[in-house]
């Protein structure tokens, strides 16, 4: 069910949500408030689909702010998306015009669920310092997406602007891969790693954060290379190959195709592990499972200073 509210107010939106709960016997067991900020020109349908899929696992009140032109007359148009159209959540999509685009915290404050955690997600362009942004300063968890806003200093901005509670989907995008690597390394506990080399697309920050994670966990410098040519890159697979050098041989984790990884360990036959590229919805769902500070992500950002690009 979609209720359209043109040229409306937050008071009218609140009244509409309460009336819908009464009229349609909607459950009110929302576990968090999720704030989503995007430009009106972004792929809004894709963003809403990711939110709906992710919040199947985390029933939430989702407040989506689509920013229009700040020079337009000030106006708020809204859509309340409820019941089956919103999955397990209730969603309010707000089209903000004029001065409202500069006062996001004032817009959402009357709509936030009381006594529940607040998470903020920027699916495309994010502020340089999320914790100091108008919405970030009221959220316990702040989720960005560097893959959708890649620039030469994206990781530097994330590292310099980091505060407890920050995370980026480039990190959750490689969770299955990190599990495969950790399992391979566990088979050689007690042996020293003398060198680490990782390769992947030059414009994919997941490769860089993976390198930082390895540097922080293993206590060694990591070499990062661009990987294969553009024509050979496997779509949506961040890391092409990882090579961990030990005195008696190398552990090599290499991507075979979009669905499998080969793990080569000295003294054992090669093994093949299923691994598929993660969607934004899967990454967002993972980020929402843990609303406490992600110390592993923070350590990985710190470890980037020990990564050498060749």
What pLDDT digit, counting tens, does each position of 174-196 carry?
A: 999 999 999 999 888 888 899 99
In this predicted structure, what is the pLDDT of residue 161?
85
In this predicted structure, what is the pLDDT of residue 158?
83
Determine how many CB atoms are found less than 10 A away from the CB of residue 202: 15
Compute the distance between CA of residue 55 and CA of residue 177 in angstroms, rounded to an integer.
Answer: 24
Alpha-carbon separation of residue 117 from 30, 70, 245 (angstroms): 10, 29, 44
- How is domain 2-168 classified at the architecture level of CATH? 3-Layer(aba) Sandwich (3.40)
In this predicted structure, what is the pLDDT of residue 26?
56
Helices (H), the chain: 10-23, 44-54, 104-108, 154-160, 169-172, 175-186, 205-218, 280-289, 295-303
pLDDT tens string 286-297 = 999 988 999 999
Alpha-carbon separation of residue 281 from 142, 147, 171, 287 (angstroms): 16, 14, 14, 10
Per-residue pLDDT band at 236 (split at 50, 70, 90): low
Q: What mean pLDDT do residues 221-241 have?
A: 75
Q: What residue spans define the domains of the chain? A: 2-168, 175-274
Q: Between 227 and 271, name the one with better pLDDT.
A: 271
Determine how many CB atoms are found less than 10 A away from the CB of residue 156: 13
Helix (H, G, I), strand (E, B) or coil at 270: coil
Q: What is the pTM of this model?
A: 0.90
> Per-residue pLDDT for 37 more than 70?
yes
Helix (H, G, I), strand (E, B) or coil at 43: coil
Compute the distance between CA of residue 272 and CA of residue 64 in angstroms, rounded to an integer.
Answer: 41
In this predicted structure, what is the pLDDT of residue 150?
46
> Per-residue pLDDT for 276 more than 90?
no
């Amino acid at each position: 069910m979609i209720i359209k509210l043109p040229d409306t107010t937050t008071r009218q939106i609140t009244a509409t949500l309460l009336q819908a709960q009464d009229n349609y016997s909607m459950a009110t067991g929302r576990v968090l408030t999720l704030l989503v900020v995007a430009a009106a020109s972004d792929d809004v349908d894709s963003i809403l689909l990711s939110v709906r899929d992710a919040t199947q696992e985390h029933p939430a009140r989702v407040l989506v702010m689509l920013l229009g032109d700040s020079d337009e007359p000030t106006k708020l148009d809204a859509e309340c998306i409820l019941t089956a159209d919103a999955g397990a959540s209730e969603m309010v999509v707000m089209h903000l015009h004029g001065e409202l685009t500069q006062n996001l915290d004032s817009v959402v404050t009357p709509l936030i669920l009381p006594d529940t955690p607040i998470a903020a997600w920027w699916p495309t362009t994010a502020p340089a310092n999320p914790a100091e942004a108008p919405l970030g300063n009221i959220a316990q968890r702040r989720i960005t997406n560097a893959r959708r806003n890649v620039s030469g200093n994206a990781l530097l901005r994330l590292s310099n602007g980091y505060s407890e509670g920050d995370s980026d989907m480039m990190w959750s995008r490689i969770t299955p891969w990190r599990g495969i690597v950790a399992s391979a390394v566990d088979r050689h506990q007690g042996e020293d790693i003398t060198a680490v080399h990782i390769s992947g697309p030059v414009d994919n920050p997941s490769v860089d954060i993976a390198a930082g994670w390895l540097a922080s966990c293993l206590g060694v410098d990591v070499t990062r290379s661009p990987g294969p040519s553009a024509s050979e890159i496997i779509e949506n697979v961040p890391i092409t190959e990882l090579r961990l050098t030990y005195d008696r041989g190398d552990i090599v984790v290499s991507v075979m195709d979009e669905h499998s990884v080969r793990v080569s360990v000295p003294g054992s036959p090669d093994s093949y592990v299923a691994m598929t590229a993660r969607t934004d919805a899967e990454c967002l769902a993972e980020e929402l499972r843990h609303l406490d500070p992600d110390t592993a992500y923070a350590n990985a950002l710190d470890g980037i200073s020990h990564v050498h690009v060749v």
